[in-house]
Amino acid sequence: MTNGTVQVTNDYALQLDNLDEFKDYRNEFYLNPGSIYLDGNSLGLMNKHSENKVSEILNDWKTLGIDGWTQGTYPWFFISERLGEMMAPLVGAEAKEVIVTGSTTVNLHQLVATFYKPEGKRTKIIADELTFPSDIYALKSQLMLHGYDPEEHLIRVKSGDGRFIEEDDIIKEMTDEVALIVLPTVLYRSGQLFDIQRLTAEAHKRGILIGFDGCHSVGAIPHYFSQWDVDFGFWCTYKYLNGGPGSVAALYVNKKHFGRHPGLAGWYSSNKNKQFDMEHTLVPEETAGAFQIGTPHVLSLAPLISSLEMFAKVSIENIRKNSLSKTQYFMDLIKEELSNMGFTIGNPLEDERRGGHICLEHEEAIRICKALKENQITPDFRAPNIIRLAPIAFYTSYEDIFKTVQILKKIMLDKQYEKYENKRGVVS
């Protein structure tokens, strides 16, 4: 595969699979025979060791009772810190800067409550108009709690084409009225990867704190939050990190901010050595652990253990290299096989700007997704016209990609999609 050309044969895909250093990891996941799963950017597949980890935690509960908090394979009192240490290399952070806790939106509320300190004319928050809705809901709520009108104080940077946000346009909004910036690392529809280092540097030049939502990148793309001096970050663990539906989320706080009182304090914000003193004056932990709120959801953490153990065996840089190769192969096949069928590739073509999924646009996207599912391929629809297809380093083969494009071609030639209603499902 060179210069945008590709051999359109199954044999070539098999040759690529034979060279794929991740090929053996497919055996570590539950893959339904005869099906192709391309929705790992929405919910990652279950690895075969997850059940064992849940069983270990359940057995500790069964045999140790309350002593499971300090005994057993994974003492529950320290489990969030232990998993934070395992996850820190994925975002380029020190172990003490990452904690596995809460959910994505709860963690965002915590971080904004901690870092949004309006003063004088610095009252505004920058986001973007293409970000995931939950982030906007949270930011509006936080502004209202401070007595501000979100329509005036939440700046949503405009997109010129409905796909991408230009970094220059974000930087233009970094005025002396801005107190905080919250942006995604990757736009969830188009897969655009922001230049996090540049945006962070530009924000800090202007005295503005900046944080990132890493839901659509952590586990697929290396980040270097500490090196880049990012103030804070937060992300879920059920997409690329394969932690399971509703798995516990994570957050990062730059160590330069340790000592800040958490905006939303709770039982688990406490210094571990003081927590059971039962005093009414909180002594916050001197790590990212200070930004926990409540007791860890231990049973929901269990599957993530085995997933992070798998990530520890490979580098996130190698995962990224593999992901870029597979998304490039996907795009080359689409250009070769699906031209003149109404498809547009809506994700960035450049490696440095592309996230972990393909954004394939078509006016019949909803119906095409339904036809793909009938053909045993699991895609992901996003309004208004996007088919998201995510080749995952651990379990998507080049042959999967080749077959998907051939099936898409057949769906279009045979007009299979026409028998479906143009209406999305409750969960798309």
134 is in an annotated binding site: yes
Residue 315 known to bind ligand: no
| Residue 332 confidence (pLDDT) | 98
Which pLDDT score is estimated for 221? 98
Mean pLDDT of 160-173: 98
Q: Which pair of structure tokens corresponds to residue 66? A: 């309350």
**Residues 198 and 65 grouped into a single domain:** yes
Q: Which pLDDT band, with edges at 50, 70 and 90, does 1 fall under?
A: very low
Q: Does 104 show up as a binding residue in the annotation?
A: yes
Confidence of residue 426 (pLDDT cuts 50, 70, 90): low
**Taking a C-beta distance cutoff of 8 angstroms, is the pair 90, 217 a contact?**
no
Quote the crossing angle between the two packed helices 316-337 and 398-413, to the nearest 10°.
30
- Residue 271 and residue 258 in contact, taking contact as beta carbons nearer than 8 Å: no
Which is nearest to 422 in space by CA: 362, 344, 379?
Answer: 362
pLDDT in tens, 184-231: 999 999 999 999 999 999 999 999 999 999 999 999 999 999 999 999
pLDDT of 425 over the 90 cut? no
Within this chain, do residues 65 and 124 fall inside the same structural domain, yes or no? yes
Owner of token pair 């840089």? 317
Same domain, 181 and 249: yes
Whole-number average pLDDT of the chain = 96
299 and 164 part of one domain: yes
11 labelled binding-site residue: no
CB distance 232 to 254 below 8 Å = yes
pLDDT of residue 5: 74
Same domain as 298, residue 353: no
Claim to verify: residue 97 and residue 188 sit in the same structural domain: yes
The CA–CA distances, whole Å, from 30 to 23, 42, 253, 365, 404 equal: 14, 16, 34, 27, 19
Look at the chain and report how many structural domains it folds into.
2
Confidence class for position 4, pLDDT limits 50, 70, 90: low
- 3-class secondary structure, 263: coil
Q: How far is CA 337 from the centre of its chain?
A: 30
What average pLDDT does the segment 280-298 reach? 97
Annotated binding residue at 400? no
DSSP 179: E
pLDDT band at residue 407, thresholds of 50, 70 and 90?
Answer: very high
Domain that holds residue 190: 52-311
* Residue 278: pLDDT over 60: yes
Choose the final residue of a domain: 311, 330, 353.
311
Residue 43, in any domain of the structure: no
Are 283 and 191 members of one domain? Answer: yes
pLDDT given for residue 39 in this prediction: 98
What DSSP assignment string belongs to 51-82? HHHHHHHHHHHHHHGGGGGTSSSS-GGGHHHH
3-state DSSP assignment of residue 367: helix
194 is in an annotated binding site: no
- Do 285 and 349 lie in a common domain? no
Task: Check whether 213 is labelled as a binding-site residue.
Answer: yes
Look at residue 201 and give its three-state secondary structure. helix
> 250 and 237 share a domain?
yes
- The answer to whether 404 is annotated as binding is no
Q: Is 135 annotated for ligand binding?
A: yes
Report pLDDT digits (tens) over 42-69: 999 999 999 999 999 999 999 999 999 9
Q: pLDDT for 102-147, tens place per residue?
A: 999 999 999 999 999 999 999 999 999 999 999 999 999 999 999 9
For residues 129 and 156, the answer to whether their CB atoms sit within 8 Å is yes
Is 414 inside any structural domain? yes
Establish if 103 belongs to a structural domain: yes
Q: What is the pLDDT of residues 349-398, one digit of tens each?
A: 999 999 999 999 999 999 999 999 999 999 999 999 999 999 999 999 99
The reply to whether 229 sits in an annotated binding site is no
Q: For 264-273, how does the pLDDT look when each residue is reduced to its tens digit (9 = 90+)?
A: 999 999 999 9
Q: How many of the other CB atoms lie within 10 Å of CB of 263?
A: 16
Ligand-binding site membership of 245 (annotated): no
Give percent of the chain above pLDDT 90. Answer: 96
Domain membership of residue 14 (yes or no) is: yes
Instruction: Decide if 40 is inside a domain.
Output: no
Task: Answer whether residue 38 is part of any domain.
Answer: no
Q: Is the pLDDT of residue 41 over 80?
A: yes
**CATH number of the domain enclosing 152:** 3.40.640.10
What is residue 329's predicted lDDT score, i.e. its pLDDT?
98
Domain assignment present for residue 45? The answer is: no
Average pLDDT of the segment spanning 20-35: 97
> What confidence score (pLDDT) does residue 6 get?
87
Q: What is the CATH number of the domain that holds 331?
A: 3.90.1150.10
- Give me the phi and psi of 344, to 5 degrees please: -130, 135
pLDDT the model gives residue 2: 38
- Asked if pLDDT for residue 339 goes beyond 70, the answer is yes
CB-based burial label for 384 (10 Å; 0-12, 13-18, 19+): exposed
Q: For position 3, what pLDDT does the model report? A: 41
Clarify whether residues 56 and 75 are in a common domain. Answer: yes
- Is a pLDDT exceeding 80 seen at residue 255? yes
Task: Judge if 102 and 139 occupy the same domain.
Answer: yes
> Are residues 255 and 163 part of one domain?
yes
Above pLDDT 70, what percent of the chain?
98
